[in-house]
Structure 1
Amino acid sequence: MQMKSFMIDENFKELTKHQTVVMPIACYQTTINQNINGHIPLHWHDEIQFVLIVKGEAIFQVNEDWILVKEGDGLFINSGCLHMAQDKEQSGCVYICLNISPYFVVSQELYTTYVKPYIQATNLPYLYIDANEIWAKNILDAILKIYQLIEQKSQYYEIDITIQLALIWKNLIDNGFKLEYVQTEILKSQRMKQMLSWIHEHYAEKILLEDIARAGQLSRSECCRYFKRFLKCTPLNYVIDYRIQKSLSLLQQDDCNITEVAYQVGFNSTSYFIKAFRDSMNMTPLAYKKNKIHNV
């Protein structure tokens, strides 16, 4: 199954239900450039995520870090961490994505001892899974096995999946990663989510830097530092990029013209919307609209 669009709430939390049959997991294959945005947009979810790159290369952002993940390798993304992904130099990146409820990784009796400390650690937003390492290769093989089990649905495959999940987690924690818990890092993540949440809710309105900073309980200068650290851009540039993202689905509707779309997503002039769209998407909104409608 290819996920081409991400439903995200006002807190940038992904709304997709990560559930396959009766189990609180989802495992699917994704081609990054087939997403409606051309990349996987910034989001977060309660589930932990494992990624296995089966073709090409991908650049993932997790919180403020950017990670190049090569073909054959993978990535663990912890619960609650902001993340996004984009193709590396049009490599046609395809990856298997495995999302799991933290409560389903091991039995409830073992959750507090073997899972909770890891999803609460502030120094474990992600972990690179290098296929050259034995523990990592075990994880990658198990991800592929789970994907195949879901595709084939052989007898008792649900039980086989739970066995593979336990294997994945045992190899992850057996890696010997030293856990840390820093309250300031938790606060930084919360403030960034608050500011993104505010933008998500008010993107169609007039937005000032002061508004964004206030949402994160920060000064204007500190707000800019947060965005530079996490997203490598200014707050207002991010607003423009987000408005363009929101315009994509509207442009695919037959009954919306360019001017209507521009004002619906918060631009106060059609010409500025066209310029910003062209700078971001390398085509005009009209060209994008014609191309998408033609290919439906």
Structure 2
Amino acid sequence: MRKIKFDINQQLKEMTEHRTDDLSIACYKTTISEHVQGYIPLHWHDELQFVAVIQGEVLFHINEQQVAVTEGNGVFINSGMMHMAEDWSTGDPSIYLCLNVSPQSLAPAELYMKYVHPYVTATNLPYLMIEKSDSWGEQLLQNIALVRQEIEEQAPYYELNIAGAVLEIWKRLIMNGYSLEHNETEMIRSKRMKHMLMWIHQNYAEPLRLDDIAKVGQLSRAETCRNFQQILRTTPMQYVLDYRIRKSTELLRFSQRSVTEIAYEVGFNSTSYFIEQFRKMMKITPLKYRREEQKGRHDEKNEIRS
């Protein structure tokens, strides 16, 4: 049997890209004994992790705490938490489903600061047990399995089914999880970040500078960069760039404007730079993205008619 190598960098950050096609989501089955080390080594990642143990028992080490998860139960591991896993079963090898989700993909950008950021940054929520004996936990575990099934089968509209299931998972967790702890300084920082993000969403098509964003947040340039890095794991200008690309995908799908027109409409002043950055983020050129989206919609219409 081929052994799986777990790829982490010198800072112990996992280097695996957790994506499924156009979604910042991945759900895969992990058999701990198949890994080179015989266990999942200590690491961290920006994604939120939802685990459902489907065979055996797994011992997780999360921020120096040990958490044993038995078959049929699960655990939520928050963004940025150091963790490792080892087989704790005396019988068959331990196997679990692992759902990794980018925090930014859980909810629309306008709702991120209200429904995601407080939980991602809470000081008292490094992990949360998910138990099938709780009705909300049982439903959450079923949705993890549903995401895995949707990814495997890829029936029409499966991306929407996945997005809906993941949103339901998050809703159940935040409705039934911890009473969060935040200090006043953190609340002020969150409010300033919300203002900066809203301003970017309203003005992304205009020429934007770091100084402009910092002024909206009433912060220095350095503090603005620090806040973006801590909260969104990116820089202010990279966030602007990514947001422009996301807005361009809407125009490519639903308008007949040329690539050059779209590039300028979302804030780029160079078509070649737009194409370069689009390909870097989406792993495809704008024109090919448009063709594939149009073909997909055409195929879906034919299925509906038939």
The TM-score bracket by the shorter chain reads 0.5 to 0.7
Q: 1:51 maps to what in 2?
A: 51
Whole-Å separation in 2 of the counterparts to 1:45 and 1:152: 27
Does the 8 Å contact 1:122/1:182 carry over to 2? no
Secondary structure of 1:143's counterpart equals: helix
Q: Which residue number corresponds to residue 158 of structure 1?
A: 159
Q: Which moved more, 1:172-181 or 1:133-142?
A: 172-181
Please tell me whether residue 147 in structure 1 is matched to residue 148 in structure 2.
yes
Aligned partner letter, 2:147? I
Q: Structure 1 residues 176 and 88, CA, compared in 2 at 3 Å: closer, same or farther? A: closer
Q: Is residue 56–residue 94 contact of structure 1 (8 Å, CA) maintained in 2?
A: yes
Structure 1 counterpart SS, 2:8: coil
Check conservation: 2:47, 2:103, Cα contact below 8 A: yes
What is aligned with 1:37?
Answer: 37
CA distance, structure 2, for counterparts of residue 181 and residue 109 of structure 1: 21
Structure with more contact order per residue of length (Cα contacts < 8 Å, sep ≥ 6) = 1
Once the two structures are superposed, what CA deviation does each residue of 1:257-290 show, in whole Å capped at 9, x if it has no partner? xxxxxxxxxxxxxxxxxxxxxxxxxxxxxxxxxx
- Name the TM-score, length of structure 1 as normaliser: 0.60
**Alignment pair present for 1:131 and 2:132:** yes
Distance 1:164 1:106 in 2: 12
Is residue 18–residue 100 contact of structure 1 (8 Å, CA) maintained in 2? yes
1:178 positional shift: 0.7
**Aligned mates of 1:3, 1:167 — CA distance in 2:** 34
Q: Distance in 2 between matches of 1:176 and 1:138?
A: 14
AA aligned to 2:23 is M
Task: Please tell me the residue identity of whatever aligns with 1:171.
Answer: R
Indicate conservation of the 8 Å contact 2:56/2:89, yes or no: no
1:74 is matched with 74
The match for 1:16 is: 16
| Counterpart position of 1:28 | 28
Q: CA deviation at 1:90?
A: 4.4
CA pair 182-71 structure 1, distance change in 2 beyond 3 A: farther
- Structure 1 position 181, deviation (Å): 3.6
CA RMSD of aligned residues (A): 1.6
Per-residue deviation at 1:5? 1.7
Deviation at 1:64, TM superposition (A): 1.1
| SS of structure 2 residue aligned to 1:79 | coil
Q: What amino acid does structure 1 have at the position aligned with 2:50?
A: F
Alpha-carbon shift at residue 122 of structure 1 (Å): 1.1
Q: Count the aligned residue pairs.
A: 182
Query: What is the Cα deviation at residue 89 of structure 1?
Result: 3.8
Query: Quick one: distance in 2 between partners of 1:6 and 1:182?
Result: 36
1:112 counterpart letter in structure 2: M
SS at match of 1:37: coil
Residue type at the aligned position of 2:150: L
Name the amino acid aligned to 1:20: T
2:118 aligns to what SS in structure 1? helix
Deviation digits for residues 192-231 of structure 1, max 9, x if unmatched? xxxxxxxxxxxxxxxxxxxxxxxxxxxxxxxxxxxxxxxx
CA contact under 8 A between 1:20 and 1:26: conserved in structure 2?
yes
- Tell me the secondary structure at the aligned position of residue 181 of structure 2: coil
Large movers: runs of 4+ above 3 Å: none
Question: Quick one: percent identity of the two aligned structures?
Answer: 46
1:96 matched residue in structure 2: 97
Q: Deviations over 1:11-40 (max 9, x none)?
A: 101110001111111100010011110000
Distance 1:182 1:10 in 2: 32
Q: Secondary structure at the match of 2:145?
A: helix
Is residue 150–residue 157 contact of structure 1 (8 Å, CA) maintained in 2?
yes
TM-score normalised over the length of structure 2? 0.58
Query: Does the CA-based 8 Å contact 1:3-1:30 persist in structure 2?
Result: no
Say if 1:116 and 1:93 are closer, same or farther in 2 by CA, change over 3 A. Answer: same
Equivalent AA in structure 2 for residue 160 of structure 1:
N
CA distance in 2: counterparts of 1:145 and 1:77, whole angstroms: 19
Structure 2 residue matching 1:177: 3-state secondary structure? coil
The structural deviation recorded for 1:120 is 0.2
Structure 1: state its 5+ residue gaps.
184-296
SS state at 2:176 partner: coil
Q: Secondary structure at the residue paired with 1:180?
A: coil
